[in-house]
Amino acid sequence: MPKQSNQHSGHLTNKKTYHNKNQVQKGDTLIYALGGLGEVGKNMYCYEYENEICIVDCGVLFPGDELLGVDYVIPDYHHLIRMNKKRKFLVITHGHEDHIGGIPFLLKQVQIDAIYAPRFAKALILKKLSEHKGLEKVPIIEINEDSSIKTRYFTVGFFNTIHSIPDSLGVLITTPNGSIVHTGDFKFDLTPIGTNADYQKMAYIGVMQPDLLMSDSTNSGVEEFSISEKDVANELLEIMRNAKHRIIIATFASNVYRVNQIIEAALKCHRKVAVFGRSMENVVDIGRKMGVIKIKNSDLLSPDQLAHTPDSEVCILCTGSQGEPLAALSRIASGTHRHIHLKPSDTVVFSSNPIPGNTASVNKIIDKLFRSGATVLSRSVLTNLHTTGHASREEQKLMLQLIKPRYFMPIHGEFKMLMQHRQTAIDTGMDPNKIFVCANGDILILRNHEVLQSDWRYQGDDIYVDGNDITGLSTAVLKDRRILADNGLVAVVIAIDSKENKILSRPIIVSRGFVFIKDSQSLIKEAEFIVNASLQEKMKEKTTFSEIKNCIRSTLEPFLYKKTKRNPIVIPVILNSKQTMEELTKKRTAHARSKRPIHTKKEHIEREEK
């Protein structure tokens, strides 16, 4: 590729040989996402200049029902692995799993010089890395809104934003070609819980007119300003006061401010708090150490104390607000929880909204709770039991007006959300030609304060993680399962004599789940003939088993697709030499004889006479 180092040229796709304005050139700042575009989760955004890469966030995506057996979905780090000679540092905007959950998997494959994280996120990352041996060596440097990171090519500054977790930051990245504002997850709340957004700093950044704004798109389809967390706090307090018996509240463990509001409301109503669910216990423990959650040991109930405490003095705080099968609330509703058994007098509160795709699971849990006779409360037009941590359309407009970017790229959202955010930017007066809706792997070029979209792109696939496996094996297995389910399998059995370099018999093709053999004899015979002809040509010269297998696949796959418009998995099976076949035959015969019944001498004589 002209005007570009060899490090880039090997890993970009869609190559062109002619010069044009949109080609990556030496001295450009490259901006691309490896996760977070076209999806809500696995956020990972990269800013690359010369031999430095600034990475913002490194998250996971939690799999849907269609990814059975998969624990996490993470970005494909292939490009960063290939760029291991470049200096890389990681900046974290806040401590949610979709922004920090991928860090252990990244550190196992990619050399990271340092991680810069706000206080609460740092505590969560340290807890996470303590479960992975050898990863604690990477320095984690605490940052806040006044911090500044200076490297050879990058200067990174920060400003406070409001989100559902403490210490949430927006990022200002200055490069030799211009400046970029990355909002992270944010909302605007005029009566917030915790630190307020830094409107003055945002407005000052806007006066400098940054070149590119990259802004959270999760709630692009929501029209009005979101309700304040203080309204939610008041609603929870009112419910707690009116409940005469035991109260059970389910919410996101990651929504630290909400967890603290629930605990404060319980203490005001003279209730003690029992915490259930591993993630909830971890967050409460870290929140107490950070001073964000204030509760004495004497106000916390252990599972053993729960049975001996009057119901009117109990508040149970648990996970499972999204209907997760193994979460505490699901086990409570199903009657399988070791310590909690539902009573008709219980009040169960959902302080959350179902994430898209989880509605059916949540409704099943609610139905079970109603069957037990419990009172169930969830967010509705009559109650303010939940508010989002993401900006609605009006709040997105306010961010655009404060920052006043020359170019805009919506991030962190499904494609529909990105397009809705694009329209919101147009409504505020932005030029549609200066708005870029991208996919994972697409490259924006920042060159002398001008933003262009490159014709080239990096690999932006998903990697499926089973347990702590990050080899990609589970990805390959899952893809094979899908192909098998949709298209079936075709096995090609051939016998060869590698010493004489010849085929001993015509290939035999066996199909499972692809076509019905009895109705497709002509197709199978034709396929066997074509494969045989291709192999005969291949065997005219010395070859390897790998080349023979590739020959079978490259011959058979296009033929089957042309005939059936389906792509089955093709598995070549090679039997080598006459001697091997004879040995297999002998083994089968010996195995069959070993299973014959033992006869008495009399029976043997009778059989001989017959």
Binding residues: 69, 71, 94, 96, 98-99, 163, 185, 253-255, 386-390, 412, 466
What is d(CA 37, CA 421) in angstroms, rounded to the nearest whole number?
13
What is d(CA 422, CA 553) in angstroms, rounded to the nearest whole number?
44
The CA-atom distances, in angstroms, between 264 and each of 239, 246, 260, 295, 477 are 13, 16, 6, 8, 47
Q: What is the C-alpha end-to-end distance of the chain, expressed in Å?
A: 84
Instruction: Specify which residues 300 forms β-bridges with.
Output: 273
**Burial class of residue 248, CB neighbours in 10 A (0-12, 13-18, 19+):** buried
What is d(CA 473, CA 475) in angstroms, rounded to the nearest whole number?
5
Backbone angles phi, psi at 101, to 5 degrees: -65, -25
Annotated binding site for substrate: 253-255, 386-390
Backbone angles phi, psi at 326, to 5 degrees: -100, 0
**Burial class of residue 15, CB neighbours in 10 A (0-12, 13-18, 19+):** exposed
Q: By the 8 A CB rule, do 457 and 443 touch?
A: yes
The DSSP letter of residue 407 is E
**Contacts for 291 with CB less than 8 Å, ≥ 6 apart:** none
The DSSP letter of residue 517 is G
- 76, 198, 211, 216: the catalytic one is 216
Active site residue 216: yes
SS3 label, residue 329: helix
Annotated binding site for Zn(2+): 94, 96, 98-99, 163, 185, 412
Active site residue 390: yes
SS3 label, residue 182: strand
Tokens of 1: 């590729």
HSE-CB at 533 with a 13 A cutoff on CA atoms is 8
C-alpha closest to that of 166 among 189, 197, 195 = 195
Annotated binding site for Ca(2+): 69, 71, 466
- 390, 421, 442, 462: the catalytic one is 390
What is d(CA 412, CA 576) in angstroms, rounded to the nearest whole number?
54
**Catalytic residue IDs:** 216, 390
